[in-house]
Structure 1
């Protein structure tokens, strides 16, 4: 089957809470994570729902919306002859760079070899011109950065070693993200650490916020109205694999490239997407850039 692919790059501009729907280790509302790595992510169903909501609120033609995302479940169940899958295949939003507090600057963008290798594999699968860079072995007490010296990330003190890989990776990401974040900022803040160090930071360097509900009459806290909520911090960088097929709607002759362009046009004029919960308190806003493959 002929397809057309793209990467959707998401840079969080406000805290992002894509909830897992369960309580874990004292956190009432944790974020979604990959089960095998425990790295933060946003499941593809949540990303697709946010994209569909964006198309709906931007008043996309209903026929175009149905071709891209498929008919509503209730409509599909009631009209079996007209039911079909959407032409846009949406993957999980995978973490690429995690912002972490540092004594050297306000924060560092941290990643690890395992994440980078997976990113390059995904890019290859999607037909993106991103040649994998040569990753040297990284000691658990070391890191690759723009400059040499002690590097403090949360409670870790690491020995940073300058490496040309940092500038090369910054250039790759700058091209994909269209300077959001900019290459100069990436070169200054980008850090590659050992996989185990990154896993610890991914589990423990996210924000945990306490929330309460106030009784309107007494202006005191309601009974049992205290909960803790986890969020992915602003400045996080994620990517979403996208693939478009030909339209599956009966009678339509639209090809994969046309369907992907229809989706890309949704974000060209206003490249922001609200993702996850707590929209009414300004959470979940991401800058969204679509980079099409070959």
Structure 2
């Protein structure tokens, strides 16, 4: 094959701040978002940089890093890398629920785009279900194992509608989360909630955590003048995914596409340590993601 493809599920185990720089709004340091939808994301360049850094830390710099990711900046004109990495797109967003544990929120547009990404990468997952776009503002679709009830997400009240197609969604989504299958299946059945696209757009914009930060003057032990800022992040238990498309090495052609992809899925994300740290504030433990590889044959 001329190309080899895979998808990485990125399940945040700590909060993640992939920032865009300072803004002139209420939030000084917002997270990265898609311009047309407003949904949170992590740009592909940030994902690629984090993966390259991990490969170098693991001691692969002198073996296959340049084949896969390309040469250093000063030699960038020599050849391109052999691995294409897409933006990390949002699939499940944890949202506070006033009637119980948090809910994993998604919407038809998010699920349909994930299905399209699976088809483009040649993956069978995500193609065995269909979720209607016609969901009322005050309704939410849940697993058929649950009862009809009223739930609150942030300040909004919803009437749940148990549907069998949500259980099909759960079976597909669970393959992207690197936890014990029975554990994650049980959690998704109780917490996965599908709302309409407009409601999801609102909650994904205004339900993300925003934390205040200060700097302390070492002499006075009080807040430095002007040293107050607000930083947005994605909460722990967010599920993102990114697509990988590998081609033969452009360095000298000695690695085929499947060998390039194998370096990433086997050498970087083994079962013993399937983790990637994304975004900023790594020294305070932010950005740790559990990585699950999804490819043909999963």
TM-score, length-normalised on structure 2?
0.93
Aligned to 2:129: 133
Q: Secondary structure at the match of 1:31?
A: coil
Alignment partner of 1:210 is 2:207: no
1:286 to 276, 289, 292: 289
Q: Is the 8 A contact 2:140 2:195 kept in 1?
A: yes
Q: Is the 8 A contact 1:7 1:293 kept in 2?
A: no
Structure 2 gap ranges (5+): none
Write the distance in 2 (CA, Å) between the matches of 1:127 and 1:263: 18
Distance 1:46 1:165, change over 3 A: same
1:190 to 165, 189, 192: 192
CA deviation profile, 1:51-96 (whole Å, cap 9, x unmatched):
01111111114230110100011133xxx5xx11111111000000
Within-5 A mapping of 1:1-294? 2-76=2-76, 80=77, 83-130=78-125, 131-136=127-132, 137-146=134-143, 147=146, 148-179=148-179, 182-250=184-252, 252-265=253-266, 266-268=268-270, 269-293=272-296
Count of equivalent residues: 288
CA deviation profile, 1:150-187 (whole Å, cap 9, x unmatched):
12100110111000122111111223334467111111
Q: Is the 8 A contact 2:178 2:290 kept in 1?
A: no
Deviation at 1:200, TM superposition (A): 0.5
Q: Secondary structure at the match of 1:261?
A: helix
Q: Secondary structure at the match of 1:287?
A: strand
Distance 1:108 1:14, change over 3 A: same
Write the distance in 1 (CA, Å) between the matches of 2:128 and 2:153: 26
Deviation at 1:25, TM superposition (A): 2.5
Q: Secondary structure at the match of 1:241?
A: strand
Q: Is the 8 A contact 2:11 2:178 kept in 1?
A: no
CA deviation profile, 1:103-131 (whole Å, cap 9, x unmatched):
23220000000000000000000011121
Structure 1 gap ranges (5+): none
